[in-house]
Amino acid sequence: MELVDLKELNDDELNYLSQAMEYDWPKLSPIEKRNSDISSIKFALCNSYSIYYPFVVKHDDKILGTFTLKERNMSNLGINTPDNTIWLIDLFVIPHYRYNGIGSYMVDKSIFEAKMKGYKNIYLQCNSKLESYFIEHGFKTEYKTGSTYGIEMTFTMFQTL
């Protein structure tokens, strides 16, 4: 497996990834759905006011999954993170390739990349079904909340790097 910067993908690869995510995440909010099309992805990648590190995992030129590291200010939601924090967002394994260790590979790579970029903390949001998975990878639950967009959420998990 290789880790590739998402910015290196061509339009067909971006479209494949976007369609797979939209199909698998049908309960995304209208804003999130609007932001998952190719032009929005490209805009986000070129957005100079956001520190954004999107990655794709490929094997034999096939896209297996994606994740993004992003600096986010969540204080408007009552989440105050320490300085030098990055968020792991949009961790997604193409359904056909799940249960083969790809998600674990991406979590490990996200932690490695965050450390290499000098971050001291990594945070994420996940639903209750994935809480134990991330605990196995060294994350701790900090906040829990009720439903968001009809999906039960474990609000915040973190790991000190």
Q: Rounded to the nearest 5 degrees, what angle is found at the Cα of 111, between the Cα atoms of 35 and 11?
A: 35
Strands 62-70 and 151-160: unpaired
Please report the pLDDT score of residue 39 as a whole number.
58
Burial class (CB in 10 A: 0-12, 13-18, 19+), 3: middle
Domain regions of the chain by residue span: 2-160
Please report the pLDDT score of residue 152 as a whole number.
64
Backbone angles phi, psi at 29, to 5 degrees: -65, 160
Please report the pLDDT score of residue 108 as a whole number.
96
CATH assignment, 2-160: 3.40.630.30
Backbone angles phi, psi at 131, to 5 degrees: -55, -50
Close Cβ partners of 145 (under 8 Å, ≥ 6 residues apart): 153, 155
The series of mean pLDDT values per 10 residues for the chain, 161 residues long, is 82 80 59 50 52 87 90 70 86 92 96 94 87 93 71 70 86
Q: Is the distance from CB of 64 to CB of 20 less than 8 angstroms? A: no
Please report the pLDDT score of residue 32 as a whole number.
46
Q: Indicate the SS3 state at residue 90.
A: strand
Q: What pTM does this model have? A: 0.78
Nearest to 17 by CA among 88, 72, 87, 91: 91
